[in-house]
Structure 1
Amino acid sequence: MNLLFAWRYFKSKKSTNAINIIAWVSVAAIVVGTAALIVVLSVFNGFEDLVKSLYATFYTDLKVMPVSGKTILLKPGQLSRIKAIPGVASFSLVMEEKALMQNGDLQTIVYLKGVDSNYGKVTTVPAAVKVGNFETGSADRPFAVFGAGVENALGFWSDRQIEPLTVYLPKRGAGLNVADPLQSLSADNIYSSGTFAIQQDFDNKYVITNLGFLQRMLNLAPDEYGGLEISLTKGADEEDIQEELVQFLGPNYKVLTRYEQNQGLYSIMQIEKWVIYGVLSLILVVAAFTMIGSLTMLVLEKQKDIQVLKALGASNNKVRSIFLSEGFLLATLGGLVGTLLALVIGWAQVQFKLVPLQGGTFVIDHYPVKFLLKDFLLVLGTVAFVAFIASWFPSRKASLQPIELKS
């Protein structure tokens, strides 16, 4: 019954044409706000998925690291026990250390990462090699795969470099020799085998070589590593396996999920998304003001109808509900049309790449879009909340109208 009254009030001709105009303006504002929120949140979802996929190339499902210090001890028995845990697909032993790479007069600081032969089973970094091959050599004759940014900084082509590059690593346990800093470093030659390109965070700082070389250069024990990177089988319960590893390895080890390895990045992405949501919600606030104006003018227009309804026995709550329904009707029309518009825009962007990414240096050439049901529910819930707040004051004013019928 309330919706019937609301619909008749909405479509009926008003004595003042401005009421109809303001009503349609409020609907249009809700359409724009709803569509903008859904489209922008969906673009953020697309970028979030893209970034996660890029980071998934380099970071594994789980990683075992020391609670303090740079290295952990893992005996063959411990590794066998970890391999036997249900849900563990494979693992790779790694070591990572800052190093100085030099090519003639050019030099740069890099993160030199030593990996074992299983590294290709836990990450897809080998598939990201764009030039040359993923070859890390041996402890005595090391080869390295360079990030594209590192290769550029050192001014060479990895598949054409005949002469080795020089790598400097800190000597373990050696303090800084102020008089001759090079005495605190170990130096050796390393050959280039290829170049990988994932994204700038990795391309500009990482060089990958074999684990044995780093163990030799850093004077590590045979069972001493920087970490253990683990890949899980599809459908495995990540949290259960993480908890089992923590209980098995003890307090000197920490086990991090992919999210925990990049917690800062993911947190910033979520904060950015909520900030954009808050800013774009201001469009709905503008719609709320126009809706208040429209409903207030409608209440003035329908004063006689209100008095008749009250004379027939309608309570204040009933009258208030009628005008609340009018507000929700405006919001529903705007919300549904805005949702449909957002779907059309998103589909067109995916199919025809209407809005390209400028610069040509990113891994994709257009803004990605990914629709999520929770975003639709959030936006439509926001629209309903704004409609309720905007409708409450005019509807309350209508419900308090006194009966002034004259005989």
Structure 2
Amino acid sequence: MFEFFVAKKYVRSKNRSSFISIISAVSTLGVSIGVAALIIVISVFNGFGEIVHEMLQGFDPHVQVRYEESKNQNFIIPEKELNNSHIEIKYSSTFIDGKAILVTDRSYEIINLKGIGNEAEREYSALAKILVAGDAQFTAKNQIILGSQMAIKLRKFIGDTVLVTSFKKVEKALTGINPIPEIKPFVVKGIFQSNNKDYDYNSSFTSLTSAQEVFASPGRISGMEFWLNDINQSENFKKIIESSFQNSGRITINTWYDLHRNLYDVMQIEKWAAYFLLGLIIAVSTFNILSSLSMSVIEKKKDIAVLQTLGATQYQIKKIFFIEGILIAIIGTITGTVIGLLVCYLQIEFNFYPLDPQKFIIDAMPIKVLTSDVVYISVIAFLLTSLASIYPAKKAASQSIIESIKWE
């Protein structure tokens, strides 16, 4: 306790050199700013990441099994292995997808057309949530759901007709007697808006049988899609299916992460880049703390000599200055953490940093605070700033009484 009280007195001392006090204050402030900035920026990254994830999950399955074109399409779910792994399938459906062509009077548009089976409850419910017009149930053949951007460009609404064909039919027409490809009229059944411009422009949906006719592939499916009760089991589900079809080369399996791996990897790299760049603020502040403590040791030579004369050991002297550094680290880290969490809370509750909804898909800067991030940032900042006090503490302990007072 003796060492703690002396260290606390040094931290709160008003008799220190004004220059050293300024450096110490700036160093502590630097740690606080670095910690607060890291918590805020990483929470913003988490917020954007969650929005992207939710947006993509509106369309993408947890696990997608895609068959190879030339291989047998009989797929049997390994029920026994799944039961042993406690993995529960919530929804599953067959699908067929590919590039299709929307033909208009003046031009044509290439779209990603996906045909979904009648059992695709999850897909229908996901579409229903983002529909801005119409409904998501295909009650007849040759009905289509368009993205909002495509509907605007084509000037189509519910009940209007669009002409649809495929590259396979175009190729067949070019190599056949009749040079005009088979074009089918589709009735617009619904219009969706996902707030993802790529999806809203390029993606369209129809029934499985209608898509099979468009692609001239009766009875063929591209694969199966699965939604699990626990999305975190996606990778385990993938491994079970892979082991069941080992070395068969018949299927390609992708989890929700695999389907957009490049996007998720870029987001992760950006997050770590933010960690590194903002961490430099803490690193610079750490060096400043080292400098201010070193100068404090020089300034306190006389005090060190008095303490040694009174019987303080080298270990106790070292402990005094080490505790002084730890107190500075605690003050800086706690202050920064409180500021960072306070800013995040204010943004979540009051949206004081709004975004233009006409330019962005959200109306305010998203924030998602993860306890693991806060703990990681705080612990690293505390450890770095605490380590900065080791050298000055050792230097103080190595001072001899004669060296300390010979110039006094």
**TM beyond 0.5:** yes
Aligned to 2:188: 192
Unaligned runs of 5+ in 2: none
Which one is further off, 302-311 or 94-103?
Answer: 302-311
Deviations along 1:311-353, one digit per CA (max 9) or x if unpaired, are: 5565545433332222221111111111111221111111111
Moved more, 317-326 or 294-303: 317-326
For 1:287 and 1:280, how far apart are their aligned partners in 2?
11
Alignment correspondent of 2:130? 128
SS in 1 for 2:93: strand
| Alignment correspondent of 1:60 | 61
The separation in 1 between residues aligned to 2:35 and 2:254, in whole angstroms, is: 38
Tell me which of 222, 227, 233 is aligned to 1:231. Answer: 227
Is 1:383 the counterpart of 2:381? The answer is yes
State the alpha-carbon separation in 1 of the partners of residues 173 and 397 from structure 2. Answer: 81
- 1:72-93 CA-partner distances (Å, limit 9, x unpaired): 6136xx36969x9661122111
1:271 — aligned with what? 269
Q: 1:340 to 1:176 in 2, by over 3 A?
A: farther
Corresponding residue of 2:99: 98
Equivalence map 1:27-106=2 (5 Å): 27-66=28-67, 68-69=68-69, 73-74=73-74, 78=76, 87-106=88-107
Does the CA-based 8 Å contact 1:288-1:387 persist in structure 2? yes
Post-superposition offset of 1:385: 3.1
Pick from 235, 240, 247 the counterpart of residue 243 of structure 2. Answer: 247
Amino acid across the alignment from 1:120: E
Q: Which residue of structure 1 aligns with residue 157 of structure 2?
A: 158
Asked whether the equivalents of residues 353 and 366 of structure 1 are also in contact (C-alpha less than 8 Å), the reply is: yes
Instruction: Choose from 199, 204, 215 the match for 1:202.
Output: 199
Structure 1 residues 269 and 102, CA, compared in 2 at 3 Å: closer, same or farther? Answer: same
CA distance in 2, matches of 1:149, 1:256: 28
SS in 1 for 2:252: strand
- Work out whether residues 65 and 71 of structure 1, in 8 Å CA contact, stay in contact via their aligned partners in 2: no
Name the counterpart of 1:334.
332
> Hey, what does 2:216 align to over in structure 1?
219
Following superposition, the deviation at residue 137 of structure 1 comes to 5.1
Measure, in 1, the Cα distance between the counterparts of 2:184 and 2:173: 19
In the alignment, is the contact (CA less than 8 A) between 2:242 and 2:253 conserved in 1?
Answer: yes
Judged with a 3 Å threshold, the aligned counterparts in structure 2 of structure 1 residues 143 and 17 are, in CA distance, closer, same or farther, namely same
Say which SS state the counterpart of residue 26 (structure 2) adopts.
Answer: helix
Q: Distance in 2 between the 1:396 and 1:341 partners?
A: 33
Q: CA deviation at 1:231?
A: 1.4
CA-to-partner distance for each residue in 1:123-175, whole Å, 9 max, x for gaps?
6122111112224454xx41111111222332x1322x53x222231228958
Distance 2:339 2:216 in 1: 63
Q: Which amino acid aligns with 1:241?
A: F
Pick from 259, 264, 272 the counterpart of residue 261 of structure 1: 259
Contact 2:78 2:241 in 1 (8 A): no
Asked whether the 8 Å contact 2:305–2:405 carries over to 1, the reply is no
Query: Do the aligned partners of residues 227 and 47 (structure 1) sit closer, same or farther apart at CA in structure 2, a change above 3 Å counting?
Result: same
Structure 1 SS opposite 2:108? strand
Q: How many residues align?
A: 396
Q: Is the 8 A contact 2:93 2:225 kept in 1?
A: yes
Would you say 1:304 and 2:302 are equivalent positions?
yes
The 1:277/1:310 distance shift into structure 2, 3 A limit, reads: same
Deviations 1:101-127 (A, max 9, x none): 122214322111111122232561221
Task: Work out whether residues 70 and 226 of structure 1, in 8 Å CA contact, stay in contact via their aligned partners in 2.
Answer: no
The answer (yes or no) to whether the contact 2:100–2:166 under 8 Å persists in 1 is yes
Provide structure 1 residue ranges, at least 5 long, that are not aligned to the other structure: none
TM-score, scaled relative to structure 2: 0.86
Contact 1:120 1:126 in 2 (8 A): no
2:183 is paired with a residue whose SS is strand
In the alignment, what sits opposite 2:144? Answer: 144
Between the aligned partners of 1:394 and 1:69, the Cα distance in structure 2 is 70
Task: Report the AA paired with residue 145 of structure 2.
Answer: V
Distance of 1:312 and 1:71 partners within structure 2: 88
Q: Distance in 2 between matches of 1:50 and 1:229?
A: 22
Deviation track 1:40-61 (CA, whole Å, cap 9, x = no partner) reads 1111111111111111111112
Which amino acid is the alignment partner of residue 130 of structure 2? A
2:350 aligned with 1:343: no
